[in-house]
């Protein structure tokens, strides 16, 4: 059962398709699902509420985009990169549609 919805960030970011990933086809709940990888870049200064972590299984929803095909896209976090010299906060995600 999903937990309460928490908005961690709303604002400008970058969603970039990982071109090396061809997209795997898997079966889930008796239907075929394509997994396509994306990298989400958020401003490094994005604050997180106390005691909140972005972990695999968290979701990212694209609310606006210059590419209208991306609006409404739900991406599942599969990894989070931390670095003390990063210029952006990078989330590895996948589209499970």
Tens digits of residue pLDDT in 50-72: 887 888 888 999 998 888 988 99
Phi then psi for residue 2, to 5 deg, are -65, 150
Phi-psi region of 51 (alpha: psi -120 to 50; beta: other; left: phi over 0): left
Distance CA 44, CA 71 (A): 23
Tens digits of residue pLDDT in 70-88: 899 999 999 987 777 777 8
Q: Which residues contact 35 (CB under 8 A, 6 or more apart)?
A: 23, 24, 25, 26, 94, 95, 96
pTM assigned to the model? 0.74
């Amino acid at each position: 059962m999903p937990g309460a919805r928490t908005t961690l960030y709303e604002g400008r970011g970058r969603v970039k398709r990982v071109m090396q990933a061809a997209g795997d086809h898997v079966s889930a709940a008796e239907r075929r699902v394509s997994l396509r990888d994306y990298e989400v870049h958020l401003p490094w200064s994005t604050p997180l509420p106390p005691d909140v972590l972005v972990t695999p299984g968290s979701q990212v929803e694209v609310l606006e985009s210059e590419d209208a095909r991306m609006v409404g896209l739900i991406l599942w976090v599969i990894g989070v990169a931390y670095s003390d010299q990063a210029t952006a906060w990078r989330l590895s995600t996948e589209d499970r549609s």
